[in-house]
Structure 1
């Protein structure tokens, strides 16, 4: 298991450059991950008023799920695999946007995971924080912004899966 916090996330995600929306992994375990992101002035999804719309939270949550898979792959000595966001059974947006400079924490917890098929369902919470990752920032702290339950899929053999989809 890697030491946390983890600040260099590109080896753990199938994303690159500005599309990596997470700044730091605070902690992870078998079925949970906690990460933070600070909304900087050059954030890819800021609107014309310097606000981050909360529809972006679904991508932030999906990246946290991907980061958990990336941590597990790293721990097992395997390459990071591509995954797909299938959809959501529930998204509850409690606030429409947050300002540039905001610090957000995302908590993801696997509620259902089938390694053989690559299918999973995760309970996710995005919160507004006052401080960075530390042990005092439990999941219950911070102002909740979005609650969601996301369904994801990461096929065990991506090449075979993609070939099947085209025939």
Structure 2
């Protein structure tokens, strides 16, 4: 199920600040103003891999967060703005039908914006599909502060 990216989308490392070993998504498959689909291929030798080379299902939260970050970056790019940092605030109701994702087997990650307010808060309904079947769903809550440095100083340091 390997998909090829459209030339309409830049390489994922131009959209996200993540680099190996934390860059977990491969490419953008589709994007519009309200949603995105990305492809990810769990690495059998990655830091998260279990003894069988599979990705434990809780790591899908990061796949979903990276899909959201790519959506935000492409949306900003369409408005003539560079990508901007954001933070994952939380996850609501992660539900999964499998314990892990098979290493080396591509999956699709869908994220659809259900809330975006003027303060940078947002929520996305996300789904991970393997072989056309939904294997995990969650609502991911995010925040994209206007001034990321000030946000860090105020909340994290």
The match for 1:135 is none
Which of 89, 92, 99 is equivalent to 1:89? 92
Match of 2:72, SS state, is helix
The match for 1:162 is 152
Which of 96, 103, 106 is equivalent to 1:103? 106
RMSD: 1.9
Q: Tell me by how many angstroms 1:81 deviates.
A: 1.2
- Say whether the 8 Å CA contact 2:44–2:54 is kept in structure 1: no
Structure 2 unaligned blocks of 5 or more: 1-5
CA distance in 2, matches of 1:56, 1:43: 12
Q: Tell me by how many angstroms 1:15 deviates.
A: 1.1
CA distance in 2, matches of 1:55, 1:119: 23
Q: Tell me by how many angstroms 1:75 deviates.
A: 2.0
TM-score (ref. length: structure 1):
0.83
Q: Tell me by how many angstroms 1:8 deviates.
A: 1.2
- Say whether the 8 Å CA contact 2:43–2:53 is kept in structure 1: no
Which of 76, 81, 87 is equivalent to 1:78? 81
TM-score (ref. length: structure 2):
0.88
Runs of 4+ residues deviating >6 angstroms: none
1:30 aligned to 2:28? no
